[in-house]
Chain A
Amino acid sequence: MAKRALSMNLNGQVVGPFTVDDDLMMIEFLHEYLNLTGSRLGCGQGICHACVAILDKPDGTSEEIRTCITGAHFFDGKKVRTIEGHAKRDAKGEVSELNPIQQKFIDQFAFQCSYCTPGYVNAATVLVEKLQRQPVKRSELEGEIENALGNHICRCTGYVRYYNAAREVVEGLGLVKEG
């Protein structure tokens, strides 16, 4: 298999250029080249969404991308965030503060085995960022949460707690309009 150069902005840092197989999937790149193993390989078929990372687009919007079925070179020159990029870190690189979604998931005991959690955190982050750009009417909130999290599979069936946590974060940040 041919190789080609790959670099990207990952969690705020430029990484690369690496010389990488042109058919390498993004999750393998994260695991094998960057030692970022927080993105989980679940189904490997784009179904379970455990592997999603966040793509930051030039227009200021963000979207979740399944890294198990998306080639690493798709991200060449782009801005990407993974689960490792959410928490604040101190000068030593140690986690000093979780982001509101991570914290709420813990407060709500939203996960059990945690395998799907990085995907849920990323999906909920994309949701929050979307609502920060355009708050949602209360009557549409449940639909927004369903659209954002509904494709994610949790085999411990923690759905209700994930949804509750996401709802509390959105409401806590004042992103819901009455109506």
Chain B
Amino acid sequence: MRGLFLAALLLPLAAQAAEQSSDKTLIERGKYLARAADCVACHSIEGGAEYAGGLPLVSPFGTIYGTNITPDKEHGIGHYSAEEFYRAVTQGERRDGGKLYPAMPYTSYHLLKREDSDAIYAYLMSLDPIAKPSPKTDLAFPFNVRFGMTFWNMLYKNRVQLEPADGKGEEWQRGQYLVEVLGHCGECHTPRNALGALQQDLRMSGGVILGYEAPSLLAKDLAERGWTTDDLATFLKHGISDQGSVFNEMYPVLHHSTQYLPLDDHRAMATYLLGEQPPAPRSIKAVAESELGESAARGRQDYLNLCAGCHEAAGKGVPHVAVAMDGNTTLRLADSRNLLRVIDDGIREQQFTGFERMQPMPGFRDKLDDGQMRDLLNYLRQTWGGLETEVTPERVAELRGEAPSH
């Protein structure tokens, strides 16, 4: 009798404990999903509270700011229900019916699973509310008229559609969801049209963002630039591999998102991108000095003068200091945009996972005139990039003439 009484007393407690445990599990899953979706990158500023918003996203149409998505009721999403959150994330509609701008990647998230949205919502609602107002968007007319987004959405909202997964393995399918939906990789790695919409027919073939190229992620192009499934998974986990290190806009992606994912996810993403039967990576034998063109031969001395001190004369790099040129994927891009920009702008000190670091690379804009830059690009591309075509003086002038975008 006494046992029955105790059991009756304990049952509600057990149910309550199970519910709390379930909440905790949901929040943990939401945290993982929010990282996979890299929410914090756009919804935080450096040194600011996570998810409290404020990051300026510079677009050709003006500046849009990442909003406060903490549970603050006045400035954040405190009044949102799970349903309203799902609509915002997948359809680009605010709780008050206003339209979001597609800087919020609902064009990719429209395929987000409802249970995943609910988990992210549970996680965000578990955070401390931060009473910080989001800066106002600053777009030129007519893009500042939010109502105009109604027409844009009719054309482009649900345009991202996944390749059928028929016959594909579980790992490939998981990779597809991580790359195409949660990771929304296509938002940067796809060219956009004049209205800022992703060009679906050129999906993942590369885009330009803030003056830098987000390179093609098509399997044939990745293999052309030397990528293997293992190396790509390593790159996503550690930010550094035999092909070089993350930089520019990909650095925060590593920092806030991919480094935290489990190894299975990196493998799945690489498997999706390169395919279950990946194409063989193109190997390149460094071109000898005697085989260089005239411009490249001149560029060799510029390389020895300004680059070899860190990247080593034979391009082997220095571990923990500077990446190798030999095998570096950036040298193998058909367009010289990123290579020129990195040489001109430099790269800030880079911190990777574990104990790996890269020291800052200075910019050499003031050390190389247009002719020297062209010669250096030709030397790098011919020697270690496997590229035979020469960069033209016009291309150097054009790239250097573009106003700094950030």
B301 CB-CB contact with A under 8 Å: yes
Indicate if the CB atoms of A70 and B310 lie closer than 8 Å. no
Residues of A within 8 A of B14 (CB): none
A30 CB-CB contact with B under 8 Å: no
* Closest CB in chain A relative to B189 CB, distance in Å: 33
* Closest CB in chain A relative to B313 CB, distance in Å: 4
**Assembly CA distance A104 to B318 (angstroms):** 38
Residues of B within 8 A of A47 (CB): 359
Residues of B within 8 A of A2 (CB): 289
**Assembly CA distance A45 to B309 (angstroms):** 7
* Closest CB in chain B relative to A66 CB, distance in Å: 8
Residues of A within 8 A of B310 (CB): 45-46, 69
Indicate if the CB atoms of A73 and B305 lie closer than 8 Å. yes
Indicate if the CB atoms of A68 and B309 lie closer than 8 Å. yes
In-complex Cβ contact of B308 among A4, A23, A45 (8 A): A23
Indicate if the CB atoms of B308 and A71 lie closer than 8 Å. yes
Indicate if the CB atoms of B359 and A71 lie closer than 8 Å. no
In-complex Cβ contact of B306 among A4, A45, A68, A70 (8 A): A70
Indicate if the CB atoms of A45 and B304 lie closer than 8 Å. no
Indicate if the CB atoms of B309 and A22 lie closer than 8 Å. no
Residues of B within 8 A of A109 (CB): none
15 contacts between A and B (CB under 8 A): A1-B313, A4-B301, A23-B304, A25-B309, A45-B318, A45-B321, A45-B359, A46-B359, A47-B359, A69-B309, A70-B309, A71-B306, A73-B301, A73-B304, A74-B306
Residues of B within 8 A of A68 (CB): 309
Contact with B along A93-107 (1 / 0, CB 8 A): 000000000000000
Residues of B within 8 A of A74 (CB): 305-306
Interface size on B, residues (CB 8 A): 14
Inter-chain residue pair count (beta carbon < 8 A): 38
* Closest CB in chain B relative to A52 CB, distance in Å: 13
* Closest CB in chain A relative to B302 CB, distance in Å: 8
- 19 further A-B pairs in the complex, CB-CB below 8 A; given A23-B308, A23-B313: A1-B313, A4-B301, A22-B300, A22-B304, A25-B309, A45-B309, A45-B310, A45-B321, A46-B309, A46-B362, A47-B359, A68-B309, A70-B305, A70-B309, A71-B305, A71-B306, A71-B309, A73-B301, A74-B306
Closest to A69 in B: B309
* Closest CB in chain B relative to A145 CB, distance in Å: 20
Contact with B along A57-81 (1 / 0, CB 8 A): 0000000001011110110000000
**Assembly CA distance A4 to B305 (angstroms):** 13
* Closest CB in chain A relative to B373 CB, distance in Å: 15
**Assembly CA distance A69 to B359 (angstroms):** 13
Residues of B within 8 A of A4 (CB): 301
Closest to A72 in B: B305
Q: Which 4 A-B residue pairs are closest in the complex by CB-CB distance?
A: A69-B309, A74-B305, A71-B305, A23-B313
Residues of A within 8 A of B362 (CB): 46
Residues of B within 8 A of A66 (CB): 309
**Assembly CA distance A130 to B49 (angstroms):** 40
Residues of A within 8 A of B359 (CB): 45-47
Closest to B308 in A: A23
Residues of A within 8 A of B306 (CB): 70-71, 74
Closest to A57 in B: B366
**Assembly CA distance A68 to B308 (angstroms):** 11
* Closest CB in chain B relative to A84 CB, distance in Å: 22
Closest to A67 in B: B309
Residues of B within 8 A of A73 (CB): 301, 304-305
List A residues 97-145 near B (Cβ within 8 Å).
Answer: none
Residues of A within 8 A of B313 (CB): 1, 23
* Closest CB in chain A relative to B310 CB, distance in Å: 6
* Closest CB in chain B relative to A47 CB, distance in Å: 6
* Closest CB in chain B relative to A30 CB, distance in Å: 14
Q: Which of B300, B301, B304, B308 has the most chain A CB within a 10 Å cutoff? A: B304
